[in-house]
Amino acid sequence: MIISKMFKFFLNIFFLYFLNFAHTFAFEDFDKWLKNFQVEAVNYGISEKVVNEIMSEARFLPKVIEYDRYQPEFYEDTFTYIKKRSSNRKIKEGKKLYTKEKNIIETIEKDFQVEKEFEVEKELLLALMGIETNFGKYLGKMDIISSLATLSYDKRRSEFFTEELLILLKLVDKNIINKKILYGSWAGAFGNFQFMPRTIKNYAIDYNNNKTIELKNIEDSFASAANYLKTIGWKKNQPCFFKIELKNNIPKKYLNSSAKEIKNKKKVKFLKKYIKNVNDLNIEGDLIAAIIIPDKDIIPGAETLSPAYLIFENYEKILNWNRSLRFALAVCTLKENFKDEI
């Protein structure tokens, strides 16, 4: 017993020492990476002044690596994930924001109605803002520059985050984004709708024409989100998903458990033969759809065929926003919950 306790004690000491050593090594290595990145940023076309001013404050943040490895999308089952993000409390908060900002929100909704089928509904905008930042209440307090630098230095998705960091520096260099307000999520996302730098560059709008894009402001943030959704082709009055019960004879090739790429899309009338509750669903037979089983690769011991969902083109548009099967389900669920409330 004593030997066992002593072994555990020394094992803990060794583990703490190892963590301390690993972090020390990471900090030292990060400094070398930072110097190389600053050279790369100047070569990318960003002014040396901006690079030196901003990157001199960049720090390695171990917490960011921890958050990256332990995201809700990676451990919560679908039922729990959706329930948390489409609750009655969430609907009440959304209604409160809508009542306060009704004129602005409805004006933006109408402005992005190029054709009737491409209108971006206010319910969808509220759902996205509600899930991303709880209607602007949780915008994040992380230093975005340090977050992106840490993830760029990290090997898991270095190329992606290096590009995001370079884009952000370019936006600051062009005075599109104010460098003094660069605080957001651990992943480098910013504002009411948690835009990444690439999304800001491609879709963000100075809606109130004050010569700067303020994504913590209702006008610019709602208009930018609406512009993004309109541009990628969200279609009003088209379904997002239906919850289904699958028959045992469905071939595995029609079951999608990854958000990276939705495969084997077919017309609904083809897939109907694999769905038990098909008669309860009012779906046009010629619509293109696919089947997802979101718990399968995430939750240990999850059933293969349950839960299952029939998803459509609009669902995939939400995947463009955040490539998570559960996130898209939660957004579409909350959007529908708002329909009879506002």
Token code pair at residue 56: 């001199």
Residue 20: burial class (beta carbons within 10 Å; 0-12, 13-18, 19+): exposed
Tell me what pLDDT residue 174 has: 94
Please write the tens of the pLDDT for every residue from 226-275. Answer: 999 999 999 988 999 999 999 999 999 999 999 999 999 999 999 999 99
Task: Please list, in sequence order, all residues whose beta carbon lies within 8 angstroms of the beta carbon of residue 190, skipping any fewer than 6 positions away.
Answer: 139, 140, 144, 182, 184, 196, 197, 200, 215
Which stretches of the chain score pLDDT less than 50? 1-5, 7-25, 116
Contact 262, 292 (CB under 8 A): yes
Does the predicted model carry a pTM greater than 0.85? yes
Token code pair at residue 288: 């293109």
Rounded-to-integer distance, Cα 138 and Cα 78, Å? 22
Tell me what pLDDT residue 299 has: 75
Tell me what pLDDT residue 164 has: 98
Residue in this structure with the two tokens 């009737």, named with its chain if needed: 116
Contact 265, 241 (CB under 8 A): no
